[in-house]
């Protein structure tokens, strides 16, 4: 292989690593669930996600305040125990309160991230009277996410193998763009190492 060809191969391999690592990190992001709250419905855009740190984006499209409460339970969505117009979130009876996005005004959007294990859940609005008016829906969390893909440099690049780190979104939620840039930086290091190695190699006759 000529020196020019080796440089080209190293560049192509590095770009492939950057693309693959960036896609791997993006895929490692935990799910986001968009939820519409109105009178008197809770409408998530999906009914099931894989276990992990799940971000709920609640949009209040109704005319009054609403909230989003996440309960882990085997009970049916319309069969939760009620006292004084509210579901008894902490009263036992097979209900585990996971967390909530507290009440917010009509027209607003609020976010919350919660760690959900596999199991059955119910999403409700627990402002007095709202659950009984129909603001509940079943939600399912399945097993963990699919295995991540790793990136390895090709032998044609004549560079040391560069295996993807398997990085995922941190607990404070780094954006996918930042993670992709990290992957690009790792690829540039591989390219730099290949370039240095080629410069120290005598030209082939």
pLDDT value of position 156: 36
Give the whole-angstrom CA distance, residue 139 versus residue 151.
Answer: 34
- The total of other beta-carbon atoms located within 10 Å of residue 139's CB is 25
Structure tokens at 198: 């080629």
pLDDT value of position 169: 38
Residue 64 contacts residue 106 (beta carbons within 8 Å): yes
Give the whole-angstrom CA distance, residue 119 versus residue 87.
Answer: 20
CA 201 to chain centre: 45
Class of domain 32-142: mainly beta
Per-residue pLDDT of the chain (205 residues), as tens digits, is 565 555 555 555 555 555 554 554 444 447 999 999 999 999 999 999 999 999 999 999 999 999 999 999 999 999 999 999 999 888 677 899 999 999 999 999 999 999 999 999 999 999 999 999 999 999 999 986 544 433 333 333 344 444 444 433 334 444 445 555 656 666 666 566 555 555 555 554 4
pLDDT value of position 90: 80
Q: Rounding to the nearest 10 degrees, give the CA dihedral for residues 108, 111, 116, 121.
A: 0
pLDDT value of position 93: 74
How big is the chain by its Cα radius of gyration, in Å? 25
Structure tokens at 146: 């699919």
Domain ranges of the chain: 3-28+154-199, 32-142
Structure tokens at 149: 């893909």
């Amino acid at each position: 292989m000529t020196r020019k060809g080796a440089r080209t191969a190293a560049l192509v391999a590095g770009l492939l690593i950057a693309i693959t690592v960036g896609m791997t990190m993006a895929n490692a992001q935990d799910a986001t669930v968009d939820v519409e709250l109105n009178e008197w419905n809770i409408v998530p855009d999906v009914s099931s996600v894989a276990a992990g740190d799940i971000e709920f984006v609640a949009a209040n499209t109704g005319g009054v305040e609403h909230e989003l409460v996440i309960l882990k339970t085997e009970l049916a969505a319309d069969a939760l125990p009620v006292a004084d117009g509210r579901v008894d979130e902490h009263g036992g009876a097979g209900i585990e309160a996971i967390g909530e996005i507290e009440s917010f005004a009509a027209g607003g959007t609020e976010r919350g991230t919660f760690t959900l294990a596999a199991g059955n859940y119910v999403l409700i609005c627990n402002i007095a009277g709202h659950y009984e008016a129909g603001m509940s829906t079943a939600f399912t969390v399945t097993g963990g996410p699919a295995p991540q893909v790793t990136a390895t440099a090709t032998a044609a690049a004549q560079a040391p193998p560069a295996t993807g780190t398997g990085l995922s979104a941190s607990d404070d939620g780094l954006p996918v763009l930042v993670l992709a840039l990290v992957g690009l930086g790792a690829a540039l290091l591989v390219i730099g190492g290949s370039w240095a190695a080629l410069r120290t190699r005598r030209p082939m006759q």
